[in-house]
Structure formats: structure tokens, C-alpha cells
Amino acid sequence: WWWNEELQRVSKEKKMAFKTWLKSHNDLDYQHYKTLESAAKRAVAVAKTAHCDQLYEELDTSDGVNKIYRLASKPQLNTVRQVKDDDHQVPRDPPAILWRWNDRFARICNEQFPHPPIQSAPHPWTLTTVEVEAAIKKMRNGKETGPDDIPAEVWKILGHQGANILVSLFNRITDEGAVPPIWATSTTVPMWKGKVDAMECSNYRPICLLCHAMKIFERVLVARLRKTISVTLNQCGFVKGCGTTDAIHTARLFLEMHQEKNNSIHMAFLDLEKRLMGSHINSSGTPCDYTLHKSSNTKCRDKRSLDEQGMWLNTKQTEYMECSPQTDGTISINGEDLKKVKQFKYLGSNISSDSDTLPDARARVNAAWMKWRQVTTGVLCNRRMPIRKAKVYKTVVHPVTLYGSECWPASSRHKEIRMIRWCLGVTRFDHVLNYIVRRRMGVAPITEKMREGRLRWYGHVMRSGEHTVARTAMRLSPQGQGVRQPKKRWMDRITEDMRKVNVAPEDIYDRAKWR
């Protein structure tokens, strides 16, 4: 912080001179005030310039990149959103807003529901140092800490000695059937889902900052569970090597292939809510949520099955989409009509009823501009900021623009050059060509990045197992009579991309060449 005692003294003298002139209205007092005002401005400018020069020198190093990220995220801190209470009234003062959040999360986390009795299990095998060291190694650096304020980096630095400390703690937990009291607390951060009313608490996803030691303990338990419990491959977010892109890719290929055969498709996007089990701890010292792992493969066929798992269908956010020539009417669940839509935001990607990717492309551009505005204040829009801010652009803004583009069959030319020019402080009146601007920023054209993403995703899918979700979707062969002029398919675009970069389908197993 560049403000110091000398600036405080100069500013105070200026204020005193101003008050003296207000009382006397004397010309000499006014001249004295203006002199002190000019001196104060010069002192502030000199101090601020010296501080900024030192800051830019620090940022222009390899260790200063992380500081740029902190500066970019600083304007977003300490902001309290206004939300509605149960009576749809909007509290104004920050304490009332925080109390509203506290009431919301306390109600969610402490609500109990009748569940089947938990069968007693034999005492687990003693945890070993090897298991704990493997769990510590998988922990990421730079993550926010929980109430104990001990990051995972501490246990990594301690090495084998730290693993022995945690092994002793974990085995004591399994023996006594109780966890440390601090593990029962967390720091909850509400994250807006990006849709519907931003003032409704139900439209926020609670993110709990937990103790890192507890996360290590959970990793050890999950590693043991995975050895005995199998998860179906359609659970993309919980299967190794799968993610949200697999589900998006499957949905788009499903629509593309069926609409190519002129088949009618009716899709319902079910929104299931889960009652959290609160602070109830079973005999093994772990929350009851772990008992759901064993029954997660069971299909919920009716409302009773959902109730047994502590879940219910949220019909307010469950939507229905007809992917064919639109007809009147909708479908109903338990006598309640569902909202009929032409677009649905599925796992962050906009799925359209006509399988058009243009709405998703526009949404990606808008999301990129929103992210860009979040990090522009004092960072990307500052002309004096070092060129290392290009890394911030490529790691923060670029991924938002390209999310889900691997599944687009068509390539759109998005106007990203305006953001890059703004980052470098270059306008059109400077007469700098686009390729020179990109070269200064170290950013490739968006079309090349999209082609790179499509080919990388295609190689990943083809190298995956035969029964994965994405690979199964590529083998779909729906029956029906095709349309006269079908849209460009995703595989058509992949064929063009391979021809442009001079690779063949059999090269997918040669990772060095495929990259």
C-alpha cells in the first residue's frame, strides 16, 4: 500500500488550510490552500508512481504471475449480494444479508430425512502410510484452506513425517468412531449458478471450504471404496477419464444423428434435489453420505425410490424440450405441467432443439466478456502492466470462450481481437494489424484453437474404451429416412480438420504426432 505517514501529514495540512480559508475568505489564505493542494497532489502522484513501478517490476517475473491473479480477483472480494428472504423482502444491511445466508444453509445442512438403518460393518483395515502419501500427492496446491488454516502444502513439505502424523490421526478416528470437532465446521461460499433470479438463495450453489486434512482422509476412504464398488460409465463426472464434455458430446451427437434421420426426439431435463444428512455420523466415523456410494447404481423408478435416497424432483426447474417440429402442449409430472423450452443450458453448454450451435457460441462469447470485465480492472486494461498478463488472458478468458467447442460441428469466427487490443492498449487508430497484435499477446487465432480442441477431443474419444459414453454415442445408427440437405456433421468437421493439419485417423495412437 503506497499511502504513508508523510502523505497523511500533507493531506491533513491541506484540509486545515481549506477550513481556515472557509472561515476567513482571505485571498492570502486561499493562495496558501492552493499551494498546499498542489504539493499534496504532487506527493501523492510521486508515491503512487514509485509504488506502481515497484509493483510492475515484481509482476514482470515468473513468481509475479500468481500476484496478477490475486489482483484480478481482488475487486470481487468482500462483496455482499442482496438476496430475498422467505417473505420475498430484500434486506439492506450486510448483517441481515449474512443472517439470511446463515438461515438458508443451516436449514439445508441440518435437515434430516428417514433413511434405512445403517448396517454395522467390521472394523476397517488399519490405514497405511503408503495410502496417506498417495492421497497427499493428489492434493492440489494453492487451494483455500478450511477453519484450521493448514494447507495441503504443509503435509507435502513434511513428507514422510507428516504422513505418519496423519496416519496416527486417521487410525484414531476409525478406532474411536469420531472426527475432530473442527472438521464439523466449514466456511461456506455461495456461487451463483448463472441463471434465473440472482436474488434467490436457492439459485446459488454452496461451496464449503473444508480442512485439508479432512480432504486427505476422504481421499484415502474413496480410494478404498473404488476397489470394491463399481460406478456405471454413464456417471461421467465420477468416472476416471470422463467429465462434462463426455455428456455434452453424447447429447449433441444424439440430437445430430436422430435429426439427420428426421426422427422426433423428446427430452426432459430433470432437476433432482438432495436432502443433506446434516452432521449425523455413523459407527465408522464417516458421514452417512458415504453409504450412498453402494446404492448409487440403483435406478430410481418412482417417487418412493427418490424418497429413500433423500431426493425429490424439483418441478420448478425441470424443463421439457421437443427436438422436432414444435407442437402444442407439454408433459406433466404428478399433475404439474413442465415448462417447455427451445434451449436448455446442459452442464454449461446451450443445447438447442434444432441442434444449432450458434446459441451456444453466442453464450460462450457473452460469458467470455463477463469474465474479461471481471479481470480488466487494474490488470488487463492497464497499458503499463507487463506482457505476462497474456497468461491471465489465456488461462482465464480463453477457456471460458472455448468451453464445449470441441463438440461443435461448425467453426464460427468469434471476434476476440477486440479484447486483445484492449489488453495491449492498442486501438484501430494505431494502425496495428491483427496478426501483430496476436503476436505481441502470444495468442493464436480462435479458429486454430477450436480446431486443436476438436482434434484433441477426437483422439481422446477414440483412445478411450469401447463402452465409454462418448465412444458409444459415435456408434449410434438410428433408423429413418434422411433429410435432403443435412447439416454439417461433427465427423465431417473432424475430417476437414485432419486434412488441414495433414494427419490420418490411424495417427491418433501416436500422441507426439497427434499433438
HEC assignment per residue over 363-387: HHHHHHHHHHHHHHHHHHCCCCCCC
Region 330-359 average pLDDT: 86
CA–CA gap between residue 209 and residue 215 (Å, rounded)? 10
Task: Please check whether residue 313 is in contact with residue 306, taking contact to mean a CB–CB distance below 8 angstroms.
Answer: yes
pLDDT band at 199 (very low <50, low <70, confident <90, very high): confident
Most confident of the following: 280-294, 371-385, 480-494: 480-494
- Among 186, 210, 228, give the residue marking a domain's end: 228
pLDDT of residue 290: 32
CA–CA gap between residue 391 and residue 397 (Å, rounded)? 10
Cell of 463: 483412445
DSSP assignment of 269-280 equals: E--EEE---TT-
Average the pLDDT over each of 374-388, 394-408, 489-503 and give the range with the smallest value: 374-388
Residues 138 and 49 in one domain: no
Residues 167 and 36 in one domain: no
Name every residue whose Cβ is closer than 8 Å to that of residue 462 and which is 6 or more positions away in sequence. 471, 505, 508
Residues 362 and 510 in one domain: yes
Residues 365 and 456 in one domain: yes
Residues 387 and 480 in one domain: yes
Asked whether residue 90 is domain-assigned, the answer is no
Average pLDDT, the chain: 79
pTM for the predicted model, two decimal places: 0.71
Asked whether residue 414 is domain-assigned, the answer is yes
Cell of 249: 458430446
- Among 202, 228, 254, give the residue marking a domain's end: 228
Asked whether residue 23 is domain-assigned, the answer is yes
Query: Hey, which bits of 186-269 come out as E strands?
Result: 187-192, 204-209, 265-269
Return the DSSP state at 486.
P
Asked whether residue 96 is domain-assigned, the answer is no
Domain housing 17: 1-53
Tell me the CB-side half-sphere exposure of residue 121, using CA atoms within 13 A.
Answer: 14
Residues 35 and 129 in one domain: no
SS3 91: coil
Distances (CA, A) of 118 to 39, 98, 99, 162, 172: 75, 36, 35, 33, 22
Most confident of the following: 42-46, 203-207, 449-453: 42-46
Region 207-235 average pLDDT: 87
Asked whether residue 502 is domain-assigned, the answer is yes
Residues 188 and 47 in one domain: no
Query: What are the residue ranges of helices labelled H in 60-93?
Result: 65-73
Helix then strand then coil, in percent of the chain rounded to 5, is: 55, 10, 35
Residues 49 and 129 in one domain: no
Region 451-456 average pLDDT: 89
Asked whether residue 59 is domain-assigned, the answer is no
Q: How many structural domains comprise the chain?
A: 3
Average the pLDDT over each of 137-141, 411-415, 474-478, 482-486 and give the range with the smallest value: 411-415
Asked whether residue 440 is domain-assigned, the answer is yes
Q: Pick from 179, 183, 239, 235: which is nearest to 208 by CA? A: 183
Name every residue whose Cβ is closer than 8 Å to that of residue 294 and which is 6 or more positions away in sequence. 229
More confident residue, 329 or 382: 329
pLDDT digits (tens, 9 = 90+) for 271-293: 877 654 333 333 333 333 332 33
Asked whether residue 289 is domain-assigned, the answer is no
pLDDT of residue 414: 45
Residue 510 has pLDDT above 50, yes or no: yes
pLDDT band at 86 (very low <50, low <70, confident <90, very high): confident
Kindly state the helix (H) or strand (E) to which residue 351 belongs, with its residue range.
strand 349-352
Residues 48 and 136 in one domain: no
- Among 173, 194, 228, give the residue marking a domain's end: 228
CA–CA gap between residue 311 and residue 450 (Å, rounded)? 39
Region 109-124 average pLDDT: 68
Q: Pick from 380, 384, 382, 378: which is nearest to 392 by CA? A: 380
Which residue in this structure is represented by grid cell 482422509?
Answer: 217
Residues 146 and 49 in one domain: no
pLDDT band at 85 (very low <50, low <70, confident <90, very high): confident
pLDDT digits (tens, 9 = 90+) for 226-269: 888 877 888 887 787 888 889 999 999 988 888 888 888 888 88
